[in-house]
Chains A and B, each alone.
Chain A
């Protein structure tokens, strides 16, 4: 396990949920239906996961210093309402679970001005050793920060849209 990362740690945010990431729907993310394409919601959510990882001390300098990387293993998106080009986005992130190598995150995307829920994303992110490209325990500094976030988040109610299994509800 890496004990000390070769760069300075950012100030730790432990609000519950974490509410730090903001972005804007880029014109090139809009498809022939005139709204943000499904794939770019995933890209936008991946940037919110990136903000969570940065808060753990595992931002771009984690990769650039060749210390490690983080890979997404699995992701589940609900598309709740359309977003048009230029729409401002606000993301909140709740830590649902964690272990020695992984975090289970739940993001919500809101239209930042109109306030409506646009989409949700449940995702599993795993720590990866840079050299072997295989899973590895979180670096100690990151693990400590993760525990502080977990302490703040573990009492939050579980989001209604977490843990969904896809299927057509049979009404008739």
Chain B
């Protein structure tokens, strides 16, 4: 009997053992705490604070920082190997941030499987320290050519597992797994 070829084997990312670009040293700090930025002038809306959409612009940059840890960031897409797509996002807006405010984003992996990562970003005001917002996300690996879901490449999976193990020691953020609704008092 002739066995069907593993469909994953036809994917470019699945044929490569190593990425054709250098990978950064893995940061096993828990949570990942590398992203720093500043609220841009054009992110401010008529209420005089960062607009809801631009919080997600800021959080998406922190997702790039996460993906860089396991070699699935800009080079991964630039070299037409793969992409990462967000399937679902949940944002809590906890406190306002204004133009020019510095902020810091930490990232905790909550769960993962062969194709997806479930994780959470927390945004803090960079100097005052308060929690400004949270963003829970589901991210999926995508094959560049087919634009369909595909297993994480071989170089990424061990890194994701190491990070997930390091992050598993953290308490689960209270904002994770929230259901939207108006509470009846």
A interface residue numbers (CB < 8 A to B)? 32-33, 37-40, 42-44, 46, 60, 63-64, 69, 71-79, 82, 97-99, 102, 104, 122-124, 128, 133, 162-168
**B86 A38 Cβ-Cβ under 8 A:** yes
B interface residue numbers (CB < 8 A to A)? 46-47, 51-57, 59-60, 74, 77-78, 83, 85-93, 96, 111-113, 116, 118, 136-138, 142, 147, 176-182
User: For residue A78, which residue of chain B has the nearest CB?
Assistant: B88
> Which residues from A are CB-within-8-Å of B55?
39, 42
Q: Which of A39, A97, A99, A164 has the most CB of B within 10 A?
A: A39
Instruction: Determine chain B's interface SS by DSSP, over half rule.
Output: mixed
Q: Of A33, A97, A163, which contacts B85 at CB under 8 A?
A: A33
**A39 B53 Cβ-Cβ under 8 A:** yes
Q: Of A72, A79, A82, which contacts B88 at CB under 8 A?
A: A79
**B180 A43 Cβ-Cβ under 8 A:** no
Given the known A-B contacts A32-B78, A168-B118, are A74 and B180 also in contact in the complex, defined by CB atoms under 8 Å?
Answer: yes
> Which residues from B are CB-within-8-Å of A71?
47, 93
**B91 A74 Cβ-Cβ under 8 A:** yes
Given the known A-B contacts A37-B60, A38-B89, A168-B111, are A63 and B47 also in contact in the complex, defined by CB atoms under 8 Å?
Answer: yes
**B54 A39 Cβ-Cβ under 8 A:** yes
**B88 A166 Cβ-Cβ under 8 A:** yes
**B180 A104 Cβ-Cβ under 8 A:** yes
User: For residue A76, which residue of chain B has the nearest CB?
Assistant: B90
User: For residue A102, which residue of chain B has the nearest CB?
Assistant: B182
**B53 A168 Cβ-Cβ under 8 A:** no
In the complex, besides A39-B59, A78-B87, 5 extra interface pairs with C-beta distance below 8 angstroms are A37-B60, A42-B56, A164-B179, A166-B138, A168-B112
**A42 B52 Cβ-Cβ under 8 A:** yes
A68 to chain B, nearest CB (A): 10
**B91 A75 Cβ-Cβ under 8 A:** yes
Q: Can you list the 8 inter-chain pairs with the closest CB atoms, starting with the nearest?
A: A43-B53, A39-B56, A39-B57, A42-B53, A38-B86, A76-B90, A42-B56, A77-B89
> Which residues from B are CB-within-8-Å of A162?
180
**A165 B178 Cβ-Cβ under 8 A:** yes
B177 to chain A, nearest CB (A): 5
